[in-house]
Amino acid sequence: MATIITLENIGKTYGKGTSAVRALDGVDLNIEEGEFVAILGASGSGKSTLMNIIGLMDEATDGTYYLNGEDVTRGSDARLTKLRGQEIGFIFQKYNLIPKYTVLYNTALPLLLQGMSYAKAKAKATEVLTRVGLAEKLKAHPAELSGGQAQRVAIARALAAEPSLLLADEPTGALDKKTGEEVLAFMRELNEEAGKTIIMITHDLHVATYAKRTIRIEDGRLTGSDRTDNPPL
């Protein structure tokens, strides 16, 4: 199986001198194709810092990061922007949909920004929206959706460019418990049936049980890893 992510001794320090904060320290991590990994930790433990580095939105201050075998630790802005668009699909707590656009256009937008023709982007967006069960909502606007539907649009948008990795930051944080469980079950299905590689960050142990491997982070260090073979009923 191919390794998607290799982090070697990654560290991140914010600020300088007496106000410096060591947000990550000595992080070693390998993620293989087809994994569904939860990164579990308390507030301030370094989860978002780690996700921002994995998602190529921020740079480590030390260590080395390989994405699909390529050293991306200090890539050029142009290269990192390209990789972000092609290799990584982001799912956020707050969905980040654009209110004035339809569900279809929100989903197609990342493809259009990558230069895909409107006809192709529309066809691809329709396909992924159908996959997440929203074929009936192509022309709806975000305000007309339930929270669970909005998060499924965000998942469709993340899937549209066929990234090698989905990165989800507290994907159920804005949802009620039942809707959150539906979204998590859907992510599990995407992983099991479509083989999507998913990294999900959460502070919630129950949410983490939907992943197949849980990695704990405390004070910027990875402190343990365990496997869950069956999601909760």
Q: Kindly list the residues in this chain that would bind Mg ion in the complex (CB under 5 A).
A: 47-48
| 49 vs 151, beta carbon nearer ligand ATP | 49
Min separation Cβ 140 and ligand ATP, Å = 30
| 16 vs 177, beta carbon nearer ligand ATP | 16
Q: Crossing angle, helix 118-131 and helix 103-113, to 10 degrees? A: 130
The backbone torsions φ and ψ at residue 10, rounded to the nearest 5 degrees and listed phi first, read: -75, 135
Min separation Cβ 161 and ligand ATP, Å = 25
| 23 vs 134, beta carbon nearer Mg ion | 23
Among ligand ATP, Mg ion, none, residue 209 binds (CB under 5-8 Å by kind): none
| 93 vs 209, beta carbon nearer Mg ion | 93
Min separation Cβ 27 and ligand ATP, Å = 12
List the beta bridge partners of residue 222.
217
Pairing of β 70-71 and β 21-32: unpaired
Among ligand ATP, Mg ion, none, residue 13 binds (CB under 5-8 Å by kind): none
Among Mg ion, ligand ATP, none, residue 55 binds (CB under 5-8 Å by kind): none
- Answer yes or no: are the C-beta atoms of 22 and 182 closer than 8 Å: no
Q: How far is it, in rounded angstroms, from Cα 68 to Cα 65?
A: 10
- Sites of contact with ligand ATP (CB under 6 A): 14-15, 21, 23, 41, 43-49, 203
Q: How far is it, in rounded angstroms, from Cα 218 to Cα 25?
A: 10
The DSSP result for 137-201, as a single string, is GTT--GGGS-HHHHHHHHHHHHHHT--SEEEEESTTTTS-HHHHHHHHHHHHHHHHHH---EEEE
| 48 vs 209, beta carbon nearer Mg ion | 48
| 72 vs 217, beta carbon nearer ligand ATP | 217
Among Mg ion, ligand ATP, none, residue 123 binds (CB under 5-8 Å by kind): none
4: exposed, middle or buried (C-beta count within 10 Å: 0-12, 13-18, 19+)? buried
Among Mg ion, ligand ATP, none, residue 44 binds (CB under 5-8 Å by kind): ligand ATP
Counts of helices then strands in the chain (DSSP H, E): 7, 10
Min separation Cβ 193 and Mg ion, Å = 29
